Amino acid sequence: MKQSKAFVSFDLLFAALPVLIMLSYLFTVIAFATEAANTYQDSAELTQKLSSIADYLVKRGAVERQLQGTEFLGTASYRPNVIDEVELGKFQYYQAEELGGWMGIENLEASFEAGEGTCVYRLVVVGEELELRKLYVCGEAA
Domain range for residue 66? Answer: 43-141
pLDDT at residue 85 tops 80: yes
Whether 19 is covered by a domain: the verdict is no
Closest CA to 120 of 42, 50, 25, 17: 50
Whether 14 is covered by a domain: the verdict is no
Number of domains in the chain: 1
Whether 36 is covered by a domain: the verdict is no
Q: What is the DSSP letter of 82?
A: E
Q: What is the DSSP letter of 127?
A: T
H or E stretch including 9?
helix 2-56
Q: What is the mean pLDDT of the chain?
A: 86
Q: Considering the entire predicted model, what is its pTM?
A: 0.74
Whether 29 is covered by a domain: the verdict is no
pLDDT at residue 126 tops 70: yes
pLDDT at residue 3 tops 70: no
Whether 111 is covered by a domain: the verdict is yes
Whether 89 is covered by a domain: the verdict is yes
Whether 20 is covered by a domain: the verdict is no
pLDDT tier at 12 (50, 70, 90 boundaries)? confident
